[in-house]
Amino acid sequence: MAKAAATTLWKELRSSALYKPSQGRIVRQATAYTLFAVVVLGAYIWQNSWMIGVSIPWSTFFIPSEADATPWIKYGIPWAWGALGCWITYRLVNHQPFAEFLIAVEGELVKVSWPSKSQLKLSTIVVIGVMFFFGALLFVYDILWSFVLTGTGILRV
């Protein structure tokens, strides 16, 4: 049973077919682009931070001179992992269970009643106003309790 599942996963990773390409297109593309950005940014950060000044002695087995090895390792390894991550991301959004989930997400997003621009502005003003009110209230409570506890000697400044 486990061998059949592993074979199917391996076969699916090597495939380039799209699963239900016309359904859930917007959510699947947004998910894929976000994951692509994370993978590419991770490869870029890996290249510019972790691989600075890398000099690995075993690299002479692959490349004749040590001077040629450092750029190959510095750029090649992170971007090879980045390319692999992008392929896995592409396959992930076309993997049947995950694609079905994203298709369902887009179906639910269509049902949402989005607020108008004026409703959004008013709601934002109310939320920010309530946050400032409770922030000021907590500040007053803090000052009050600090005064009470310092006056009774429980809290020492």
pLDDT digits (tens, 9 = 90+) for 69-87: 566 677 788 888 889 998 8
* Mean of the per-residue pLDDT values of the chain: 82
pTM of the model: 0.58
Nearest-5° angle of CA 132, CA 138, CA 144? 140
Looking at residue 22, the DSSP 8-state letter turns out to be T
What gap in Å lies between CA 53 and CA 71, rounded to an integer? Answer: 10
Per-residue pLDDT of the chain (157 residues; tens, 9 = 90+): 456 555 576 777 777 777 887 788 889 889 999 999 999 998 888 877 765 555 555 555 555 554 545 666 777 888 888 899 988 888 888 888 888 999 999 999 989 998 999 999 999 999 999 999 999 999 999 999 999 999 998 888 7
pLDDT for 61: 52
pLDDT for 157: 75
Is residue 102 exposed (0-12), middle (13-18) or buried (19+ Cβ within 10 Å)? Answer: buried
pLDDT for 142: 96
Residue 138, Cα to own-chain centre: how many angstroms? 34
pLDDT for 66: 47
Residue type, 60: T
Q: At which residue do the structure tokens 């992008």 appear? A: 86
Tokens, residue 147:
């005064």
Nearest-5° angle of CA 63, CA 65, CA 69? 55
What gap in Å lies between CA 41 and CA 101, rounded to an integer? Answer: 26
Q: Are 52 and 46 in contact (CB under 8 A)?
A: no
Q: At which residue do the structure tokens 């490869």 appear? A: 43
Closest CA to 81 of 31, 33, 45, 34: 45
